[in-house]
Amino acid sequence: MQLNPSEISDLIKKKIENFDLSAEAHTEGTVVSVTDGIVRVHGLSEAMQGEMLEFPGNTFGMALNLERDSVGVVVLGSYQHITEGDVVKCTGKILEVPVGEALLGRVVDALGNPIDGKGAINTTETAPIEKIAPGVIARQSVDQPVQIGLKSIDAMIPIGRGQRELIIGDRQTGKTAIAIDAIINQKNTGIKCIYVAIGQKRSSVANVVRKLEEHGAMAHTIVVVASASESAAMQFIAPYTGCSMGEFFRDRGEDALIIYDDLTKQAWAYRQVSLLLRRPPGREAYPGDVFYLHSRLLERASRINAAEVEKLTDGRVKGKTGSLTALPIIETQGGDVSAFVPTNVISITDGQIFLESNLFNSGIRPAVNAGLSVSRVGGAAQTKIIKKLGGGTRLDLAQYRELAAFAQFASDLDESTRKQIERGQRVTELMKQNQYSPMSVAQMAVSLFAANEGFLDSVEVNKVLDFEAALQLYMKSEHAELMNNINATGDFSNEISSGLRAAIETFVKTHSW
């Protein structure tokens, strides 16, 4: 946009005209010490916990420790220009960030400022970053699915709208990959996504954003970034910022999905801030309220009923429920899930997707450990057809795991055991899926049906994926109507069952894989 000088002076004139000339009353204090982003301020007797405080040079801080004679403040952003004796003013506001539709497709920092070079964001509303989660009366049980688009997850560990499902695993096990696939699969579903990157390399974040753009998934996504180079305070508040942005959609009767990647780093950032504030360290040097740090965040992911949505929108939206689904990510060290933060988050969430590095390295990707992964509420939300067909998959894999150790004595085993092992090997193979290629409900149903009905038993183990790919292609070209029908209804009727059987039988006869 080109502006000529007269326009600029008009703009300034208008601003001056509208300038409110009342005397400004506030409480103020003086900086006593500045240490590693923590500022101690004398005075500020009326400061609130979590209040936004104004430093000189348009810098803001958040009051975290309210003591008898001083206030401990974390500076949000750079603190190099703050010196002893500087005046600090109260703003009377809890820290707020912009929220709204305008943020979709944008990359912002933990305070909601754009960092993608696409100019200012035209938001009209702001929301405090810390809010109390909806109460019991406002809630509704989870009964609609969020399709992740991965066979192994949608079939065995279903996720419902408003659920909190933890993705946990060592480094390099594909945690982020699952999250990105989940975002890509929400294209055209109306679910808005928020990806919160905490303490990550800027290059990884840029990669994620590029991948989302390539797959056309940025249009329904907000990316909140507090990279490794930003201050610990920013990394600490980033998840709350993202959550407030997601709650905006939830409270308007829409559905949103938020991914916290990852909460381990947020806990580290909070530990740093707490130790610098001289709060007493506890287990693993985390402060005493590290459980509350995550529980209050994840509690805000919820499904709220139509009455609550109506109340929150002043009656503008009627008869629609809202939801915010959370997929927090936790990185474990050497597969140790009994460390402090992993156990906390496991106990807060409604289930976990457990990823294992030895599965990942043996080529099973996504590396989901079907035995340790659970979804406590997702079953009620699962699409009927997947629920019916996926149950068998879980069972097949469970039986296979028990017998897998005997697999090498295949020749000495009895017929039924051998069959179970063979089925298990094929199902394990079938659960493999490439990154960035989410499947629709119908596609999953076809694959699962083929496994359940034993069509895979005659296929060699290393040919299973080829078989699947060819089958999907065949179904797409020859039975598009049946597929559309499944996608539309999600039901599993006799008609659909016989349709699938007939189609796969014809396909098997062609031997075209």
Partner 1 sequence: MSELATLARPYAAAVFKRAKETHSTTMWSKSLAFMSAVLKNEDISVVVDNPKVNKERLSALMLDICQGHVNDENENFLNLLVHNNRLSLVPSIARLFEAYKAEDEGYVEVEVLTAYALSKEAKQTLAATLEKNLGKKIHMNVTVDKSLIGGVLVRAGDRVIDGSIRGRLQQLAKRL
Binding to partner 1 by CB under 8 A, coded x per residue (else -) over 124-163, reads ----------------------------------------
Indicate if 376 belongs to the active site.
yes
Binding to partner 1 by CB under 8 A, coded x per residue (else -) over 85-124, reads ----x-----------------------------------
Residue tagged 């005209």 (tokens):
17
Residue tagged 């790919």 (tokens):
469
> Do 53 and 63 meet the contact criterion of CB atoms below 8 Å apart?
yes
CA-nearest of 426, 423, 438 to 464 is: 426
CA gyration radius, the chain: 26
Q: Does 21 bind partner 1 (CB under 8 A)?
A: yes
Q: Does 6 bind partner 1 (CB under 8 A)?
A: no
> Do 433 and 151 meet the contact criterion of CB atoms below 8 Å apart?
yes
Shortest reach from residue 69's CB to partner 1, in Å: 4
Q: How far apart are CA 25 and CA 37, in angstroms?
A: 27
* Region from 37-45, 197-205, 449-457, 466-474 binding partner 1, contact rule CB under 8 A: 37-45
Distances (CA, A) of 140 to 35, 54, 305, 308, 309: 46, 40, 5, 10, 11
Amino acid at 107: V
Interface with partner 1 (CB under 8 A), residue from 6, 58, 188, 510: 58
Strands (E) in 277-359, as ranges, are: 303-304, 322-331, 351-355
DSSP string, 401-420: HHHGGGGGGGGGS-HHHHHH
Interface with partner 1 (CB under 8 A), residue from 37, 39, 43, 251: 43
Residue 9 or residue 493: which is nearer to partner 1 going by CB? 9
Interface with partner 1 (CB under 8 A), residue from 4, 17, 19, 405: 19
Binding to partner 1 by CB under 8 A, coded x per residue (else -) over 210-239, reads ------------------------------
Q: How far apart are CA 341 and CA 328, in angstroms?
A: 12
Interface with partner 1 (CB under 8 A), residue from 65, 70, 123, 435: 70
CA-nearest of 109, 37, 110, 42 to 79 is: 37
| Residue 342 CB neighbours (<10 A) | 20
Interface with partner 1 (CB under 8 A), residue from 3, 5, 6, 15: 15
Shortest reach from residue 67's CB to partner 1, in Å: 7
Q: Which residues are within 8 A (CB) of 36 and not within 5 positions of it... i.e. 6 or more apart? A: 276
Burial class (CB in 10 A: 0-12, 13-18, 19+), 329: buried
Which residue among 202, 279, 376, 418 is the active-site one?
A: 376
* Region from 24-32, 98-106, 147-155, 365-373 binding partner 1, contact rule CB under 8 A: 24-32
* Region from 17-25, 161-169, 391-399, 492-500 binding partner 1, contact rule CB under 8 A: 17-25
Shortest reach from residue 23's CB to partner 1, in Å: 3
* Region from 40-48, 334-342, 344-352, 374-382 binding partner 1, contact rule CB under 8 A: 40-48
Interface with partner 1 (CB under 8 A), residue from 9, 12, 398, 491: 12
What amino acid positions are annotated as catalytic residues? 376
Give contact residues for partner 1 (rule: CB under 8 A): 12, 15-16, 19, 21, 23-30, 32, 40, 42-46, 58, 67-70, 89
